[in-house]
Amino acid sequence: MKARKALAGSLLALSLGITTACTGGSAPEGPAPQAVEPSKTKEPVELIISPYWLSMSDQEFEDLMFKPLKEKFPHITMKLDRTDPIKMQANGQFPDIFYTANSRLSLYFDLNIPYDMSQLVKKHNLDLNKFAKPNIDWVRELGPKGEIYGIPFDLNHMALFYNKDLFDKRGVPYPKEGITWDELYDLAKKLTYVENGVQYRGVLPQNPEFFTRVKSTPLIDAQTNKSLIDTPENKVILERIQRFFQIPGMIVNNEYPIKGADFIKDQTVAMYVNWLTDVSSTMQAGNVTMNFDITAAPVLTELPGLTIDPGAKLLGVSNTSQHKEEAFEVIQFLTTSPEVQSRINRRARLTALADETIRSQFGADMEVLKGKNVQAALKVKPAKMIPPNIHTITAAGGLNGVLKDLALGTKDINTLLREAQEAADKKIEQDMKAKK
């Protein structure tokens, strides 16, 4: 418990300012690292990996991770355990390697699971400069004294998908590269209509947290552990979202959540702003037939060329692992091997490396992406991720929870923000008391 509190304290101190990042000691100087050599011991080793808050299937784990690992490290056997990390930690045991989205890393810190890999990074000459920015900067900032708690394996990237048939039926030009949210709103109005009893919609609005992440705005005050929901900035965000709900035909019969409005399944929504990797994988797995294309995600007028943070997915060694050396070798191989990173990238899981030769082949092995303007989506740059905080999940849930009342117009925006902040602060206080 003391170790957990000490780690939490250092994280809170770190999150006082993104600009106070400490990068010293994270990336060794010297020649480019060679391929990772297998462990000196050849005795059989079993390593267990625990994924959390990810969409990777068992088959993808086998194809993208386990098979190449077996070729490189024949003495290492990998096993998958999808048990909730809280339950694992409560049982006093945790797998050797954790694999999670950056937005959930704070949970692992709260459970005191991540192991500081900085000495292993130096020992094995892992060059952190090979990884894409701004994600790797965020990883470095996790450790105020140069600690390294996770290595990026793959990234996500926001994109704008659009149904060309729905545009063609209305004679509306396709969304252009670099489109702003204001321009997207204008398109949405033209593409929201009823035909043959079917309600079509131009686009479904994003949740408020999306825009806070584009702006890299924390939702928690790290000094007070109070939520930052009721702010002038979030009022502007809700006003931007509300106008989409006010388009005639967006809300029908006072119904929310909106039913029968789905880009992939029902194909009644003309545009879809979502993760490039997740949507393409879903469409591929479902053999979706649609005349669609892709372009860059919409941007805010005041932040041209910038979209939501990259939704990084990290691999890390567990504090409780009895095979930390082997676990790190596995992580280094998976994250830096050009063969592995090229394989996952071609399968629509964006490489975490900054190698443009690899990135340019994104989705090449995905039939659903053949002929699509994938590279246009990758041109817009991701925002910087905010420092992790276990209470961000609560605050984000509270802010996103206003959408129903916002859509139906049952409460004014000032009231929604005030009530959401009060509820989030109460929940945070309860969570903190429960951990004492």
Sorting pLDDT into bands at 50, 70 and 90, what band is 103?
confident
SS3 281: helix
How high is the pLDDT of residue 99? 97
> Which segments within 181-305 are labelled E, that is strand?
193-195, 198-203, 220-221, 226-227, 269-275, 292-296
Q: What distance in Å separates the CA atoms of residue 178 and residue 160, rounded to the nearest whole number?
A: 10
- Residue 335 to residues 24, 65, 394, Cα–Cα distance (Å): 21, 10, 31
155 touches 313 (CB < 8 A): yes
User: Taking 90 as the threshold, does the pLDDT of residue 21 lie above it?
Assistant: no
Tell me the mean pLDDT in the region 345-355.
Answer: 96
> Which segments within 167-218 are labelled E, that is strand?
193-195, 198-203
User: Taking 90 as the threshold, does the pLDDT of residue 315 lie above it?
Assistant: yes
Tell me the mean pLDDT in the region 16-27.
Answer: 32
> Which segments within 245-323 are labelled E, that is strand?
269-275, 292-296, 306-307, 313-317
Number of H helices, E strands in the chain: 19, 15
pTM of the complete model: 0.86
User: Which two structure tokens, joined as six digits, stand for 210?
Assistant: 């999306």
Percent of the chain predicted with pLDDT > 90: 80
pLDDT digits (tens, 9 = 90+) for 132-174: 998 899 999 888 899 999 999 999 999 999 999 999 999 999 9
Q: What distance in Å separates the CA atoms of residue 221 and residue 227, rounded to the nearest whole number?
A: 6
Sorting pLDDT into bands at 50, 70 and 90, what band is 81?
very high
Quote the distance between the C-alpha of residue 283 and its chain's center. Answer: 19
pLDDT digits (tens, 9 = 90+) for 65-76: 999 999 999 999
Identify the weakest region by mean pLDDT among 67-81, 86-100, 248-262, 290-304: 86-100
Evaluated on CA atoms 302, 307, 311, 314, the torsion sign reads: negative
How high is the pLDDT of residue 35? 47
Sorting pLDDT into bands at 50, 70 and 90, what band is 31?
very low
pLDDT digits (tens, 9 = 90+) for 225-284: 999 999 999 999 999 999 999 999 999 999 999 998 999 999 999 999 999 999 999 999
Nearest to 103 by CA among 268, 273, 311: 311
Q: What distance in Å separates the CA atoms of residue 366 and residue 285, rounded to the nearest whole number?
A: 10
Nearest to 271 by CA among 404, 172, 394, 343: 172
